[in-house]
Amino acid sequence: MHLYLIRHGQSFVNLPDWSGVNADEPLTELGQRQAAALAAWLPQSLAQVNHIYASTMARARQTAGPLAQAYGIPITYDDRVREIGNNRVDHTPWSPEAWPNRYVDFWASARPFAPVLLDATDAESLMHFRTRVGVFLEELAGRHRGETILVVCHGGVIEAAFGHIFNIGPWQRCEVWTSNTGISHFQYVEHPGRETWRLHSHNRNDHLAGVEQP
């Protein structure tokens, strides 16, 4: 399986003057241009895609839409690739009416077993988050042998994927940074007695040449 993890385009939550409140915000005008550039470029270098998965959050949906149109295949939405803090400890998403929106005042990796949201008794921690991403990845590997898969998600999801695939412990020492619409390419390789995952590239963004950057 060839797996391409793609971060969404620029959203209002990515702007420097954002309040820091957790919200399901759409793409900015720049984010829409980034998504369009991605959809125009990727089929030229990756002609065959079997399935497209996407987070159910607005910024990922809007980034995945042009890709689905370019490839002519539907999107499978999955709550497990929502950004950290947007699901409960059982991996289900918050309902809009009960959605806590205030993050704690520490970075999740500093206290990986602590809830990442305030005012919520069942808020997930970094390790809950990494588990739900890991379960999603292992299911993909079992379901899509020999296929090419796109997953449009979030920067935190891509970082959690690195943690799972590289078997990093709870206290990670290096941040895995992905720019908006950056692409990471992994391959699931079934060779007995050796590594099962292979990293080909991270944060590829050739498609953004000529697109105004933040």
pLDDT at position 192 is 85
**Count of residues making up the chain:** 214
Residue 172 domain flag: yes
Along the 214 residues of the chain, how does pLDDT read in single tens digits? 999 999 999 999 888 888 777 888 999 999 999 999 999 999 999 999 999 999 999 999 999 999 999 999 999 999 999 999 999 999 999 988 888 888 999 999 999 999 999 988 899 999 999 999 999 999 999 999 999 999 999 999 999 999 999 999 999 999 999 999 999 999 999 888 899 999 999 999 999 998 877 6
Whether 214 is covered by a domain: the verdict is: no
pLDDT at 17: 82
User: If you count DSSP H runs as helices and E runs as strands, how many of each does the chain have, helices first?
Assistant: 4, 6
pTM of the shown model: 0.96
Sheet of 51-54: strands edge to edge?
75-77, 51-54, 148-153, 2-7, 183-188, 197-204
Distance (Å, rounded) from C-alpha 182 to C-alpha 114?
29
Task: Write the CB contacts of 101 (distance below 8 Å, at least 6 apart in sequence).
Answer: 21, 22, 23, 117
Q: What is the CATH number of the domain that holds 94?
A: 3.40.50.1240
Residue 37 lies in a domain: yes
In Å, what is the CA distance from 172 to each residue of 40, 158, 159, 208? 35, 14, 10, 29
The number of domains in the chain is 1
Q: Is residue 21 part of a domain?
A: yes
Strands (E), 55-182: 75-77, 148-153
**Residue 213 counted as domain residue:** no
Q: Is the residue at 178 inside a domain?
A: yes
First-last CA distance in the chain: 33
Q: Is residue 147 part of a domain?
A: yes
Q: Residue 72 CB: number of other CB atoms within 10 A?
A: 8
- CA-to-CA distance for 181 and 172, rounded, in angstroms? 24
Identify the domain containing residue 57 by its residue range: 2-208
189 and 198 Cβ atoms separated by less than 8 Å: yes
In angstroms, the CA 101 to CA 68 distance is 30
